[in-house]
């Protein structure tokens, strides 16, 4: 079984992916880490040195590489991945388990304001503009996110509750 977790940055894809993969006894993969391993650079460096277009091309290639394997896994993808290079179609064509981890705007702002320096996309956004920036971004991306085969509302739920809900969707 191949499961793809998608959602905005800060939605818990990596954390939930690790726990879910462990419970299902399958590999846990993170698309950004996969790209970093292949490129020998972190995502921030790739953006700075080669630009977003290069990164998005690598991201699309890497997504298709991972999805084309016959392995069972839980794959966490970047927040922007579904929005570029027809990646949602690739997810639909190659797996039946695309799961959108939906987190409300206020909760995302709360989570992301604590880790701004680790997030290149928002690192330079002033704190007072963060809510508006994330809201606009979330609105633009929700069209893609909501195409997932399953939507899991994550607000006011523990990680364990979210994992249990995902497991029930898969059975």
pLDDT tens sequence across 74-116? 999 999 999 999 999 999 999 889 999 999 999 999 999 999 8
CB-CB contact of 33 with 59 (8 Å) = no
Answer yes or no: is 15 a known binding residue: yes
- Calpha distance 157→154 (Å, rounded): 6
| pLDDT mean over 70-77 | 96
117 is in an annotated binding site: no
- Asked if pLDDT for residue 12 goes beyond 80, the answer is yes
Residue 171 has pLDDT above 90, yes or no: no
Q: Can you tell me which residue has the tokens 């998608």?
A: 6
Q: Which positions ≥6 away from 8 have C-beta within 8 Å?
A: 79, 103, 108, 134, 137, 138, 141, 145
- The closest alpha carbon to 90, from 64, 120, 52, 69, belongs to 64
Tell me the whole-structure pTM to 2 decimals: 0.95
Q: Is 151 helix (H, G, I), strand (E, B) or coil?
A: strand
What per-residue confidence (pLDDT) applies to 133?
A: 97
Question: What is the DSSP secondary structure assignment for residue 118, as one 8-state letter?
Answer: G
Tokens of 154: 């994550």
**32 known member of a binding site:** yes
Q: 64: annotated binding-site residue?
A: no
140: CB partners within 8 A, 6+ apart: 83
Q: To 10 degrees, what angle do helices 127-145 and 105-113 make?
A: 130
Q: Is 111 labelled a binding residue?
A: no
Is residue 11 annotated as involved in ligand binding? yes
Q: What is the CATH number of domain 2-163?
A: 3.40.50.300
């Amino acid at each position: 079984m191949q499961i793809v977790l998608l959602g905005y940055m800060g939605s818990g894809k990596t954390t939930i992916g690790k726990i879910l993969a462990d419970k299902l006894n399958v590999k846990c993969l993170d698309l950004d880490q996969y790209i970093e391993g292949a490129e020998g650079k972190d995502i921030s460096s790739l953006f700075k040195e080669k630009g977003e277009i290069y990164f998005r091309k690598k991201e699309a290639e890497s997504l298709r590489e991972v999805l084309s394997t016959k392995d069972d896994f839980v794959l966490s993808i970047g927040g922007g991945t579904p929005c570029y290079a027809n990646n949602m179609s690739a997810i639909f064509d190659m797996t039946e388990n695309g799961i959108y981890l939906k987190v409300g705007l206020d909760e995302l702002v709360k989570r992301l304001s604590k880790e701004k320096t680790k997030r290149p996309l928002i690192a330079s956004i002033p704190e007072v503009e963060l809510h508006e920036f994330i809201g606009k971004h979330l609105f633009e991306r929700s069209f893609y996110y909501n195409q997932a085969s399953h939507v899991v509302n994550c607000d006011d739920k523990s990680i364990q509750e979210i994992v249990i809900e995902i497991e029930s969707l898969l059975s």
